Amino acid sequence: MHAALRFIVVSDVPSEHKRVLIDVLTRALREADAAEVRLRNADQAPQPWQPEDETRLESMLERKVARGWQHADEILMGIAAQLHRNPHDIRAKATQLGLGHAVDYAIARTQAAASKE
């Protein structure tokens, strides 16, 4: 479809027909891309956490504390890539395990303020 679109753009097809063809091909490409994104997102449906997954997550977050928003996101994205899970699932499980301070700066900041008092 990409090749067909490039062909139509440079061809000598009359402009009224060219406009329609470009519109049709562009819509088809958008729909194909949207379908691919939906398929990818369906593949990333939350998987149930196994005890060994939780243990691995705990070991990855051990002694880590987010020093800022960017640092928390870097930790989160790195672990999500290693565990092949959605970052939201990682953050939720880490918080549930009491390790949210490693992947959520708001939690880390709140805990730091509480420990100073």
15-43 confidence digits (pLDDT tens): 999 999 999 999 998 888 887 777 676 55
Mean pLDDT confidence for 85-106? 93
Residue 12 confidence class, pLDDT cut points 50, 70, 90: very high
Length of the chain: 117
pLDDT of residue 33: 84
Q: What is the pLDDT of the chain when averaged over all its residues?
A: 89
Mean pLDDT confidence for 83-99? 91
**10 Å Cβ neighbour count for 34?**
10
